[in-house]
Amino acid sequence: MKFRTLGRHVKEGTKNLGRNGWMTFASISAVTVMLLVVGAFLLLILNANNFASSVEDDVEIRAYIELTATPEQQEELRTQIENTPNVESVTFLSKDEGLDQLIDSLNEAGSAFESIREENPLNDAFIVRAASPQLTESISQQIDEMPYVESTNYGQDFVERLFAFTDLARTIGVILIVGMMFTAMFLIANTIKITIIARKREIQIMKLVGATNGFIRWPFFVEGLLLGVVGSLIPIVVLGFGYSYLYSAYGSQFETLFFSLLTPFPYIWQIAALLVGIGAFIGVWGSVMSVRKFLKV
């Protein structure tokens, strides 16, 4: 395709945006809202996955030893745990060390537990780390059945709820995105349809004087592409400035909640490129649907 011909197609496609007025506005708005949701959802999932990964890295099993177990029995238990498949490390935690951790975790309120130090009721424990976080549950179950083990704990309720929430968020997000993508493509297809109907006589004349099918169709493809790309610009700006502000203003507060936000860059650039690509795809696909159905050339 010659550069002059390409320029003509771009010019005609741009003109079509102005000809359709409110339909152009509706199409761009639909793409904008859809991509805003997609971008926000991606940022949410990226941060949720980062949080889940950090939680996974910190997951450890606490195997509490029976109070009646002798030092020899504790050592026997340690050897048995170390010989369990997929166990990465085993560390002994005395009940005094456990009490120190409890007091430190409660900050000022922890001082109330100083009074029980002489008659410490806590159990000695082994801190066990699995070779893979996904194996934690099965290893915990194996350790729980060993002699001299009173109980095991790895924060299973919190971990399971976290992963359940992440999976639910992904599912809901995908359903919303797919539904909004179809809505945006439908509006773009109708916008192109209006352009085709309005220029029906002009198209017929072009065909009579020898214009090829591609020559007639290309401006409509360009129009759809522009609708999608223009619709992606606002979400990129809103998400870029919005997330950067959130990170700079509240990032430190999130860290106090044992959760750190991902730094804006390079993720904003990656999401921006993805949003432009999705917008362009939706626009072109919407125009293809409309051209195939309504443009009889």
Digitized pLDDT (tens) for each residue of the chain, 297 residues in all: 556 666 766 677 677 667 667 778 888 888 888 889 888 888 888 887 777 777 766 778 999 999 999 999 999 999 999 999 999 999 999 988 988 887 887 777 767 777 777 788 899 999 999 988 778 889 999 999 999 999 998 876 776 776 677 778 777 877 877 887 787 777 777 777 777 777 677 777 777 887 777 777 888 888 888 888 998 999 999 999 999 999 998 877 776 556 678 889 888 999 999 899 988 988 888 787 777 766 665
Distance separating alpha carbons of residues 148 and 125, to the nearest angstrom? 11
Q: What is the pLDDT of residue 4?
A: 65
Whether 273 and 176 share a structural domain = yes
**Rg for the chain (alpha carbons), in Å?**
31
In angstroms, how far is CA 70 from the centroid of its own chain?
49
* Domain match, 192 and 174 both: yes
What do you get for the CA distance between the two ends of the chain, in Å? 20
Same domain, 40 and 182: yes
Domain boundary among 154, 178, 208: 154
Specify whether 233 is located in the same domain as 143.
no
286, 244: one domain: yes
Q: What is the pLDDT of residue 271?
A: 92
Q: Which helix (H) or strand (E) holds 65?
A: strand 61-65
What's the token pair of residue 249?
């203003």
- CA 90 – CA 127 distance, rounded (Å): 6
Domain CATH number, residue 71: 3.30.70.3040
Contact 184, 231 (CB under 8 A): yes
Burial class (CB in 10 A: 0-12, 13-18, 19+), 187: buried
Q: Containing H/E element for 149?
A: strand 149-153
Q: Domain check: are 182 and 70 in the same one?
A: no
How far apart CA 21 and CA 16 sit, in angstroms, is 9
Same structural domain, 107 and 168: no
Shared domain for 135 and 180, answered yes or no, is no
**What number of CA atoms fall less than 13 Å from residue 120's CA on the CB side?**
16
Task: Quote the pLDDT of residue 89.
Answer: 93
Residues 167 and 270 in one domain: yes
Q: What is the pLDDT of residue 257?
A: 58
Residues 174 and 41 grouped into a single domain: yes
Q: Which of 154, 171, 196 is the last residue of a domain?
A: 154
* Token duo for residue 122: 């806590």
Peptide bond into 235 cis (omega under 30): no
Note down the domain range covering 48: 3-55+160-295
Same domain, 44 and 178: yes
- Asked whether residue 77 falls in the same domain as residue 203, the answer is no
Number of domains present in the structure of the chain: 2
Element (H, E) at 134: none
Task: Show the DSSP H helices in 59-87 as ranges.
Answer: 71-82
Q: From 154, 187, 219, give the residue that closes a domain.
A: 154
**Phi first, then psi: what are they for 237, rounded to 5°?**
-65, -45
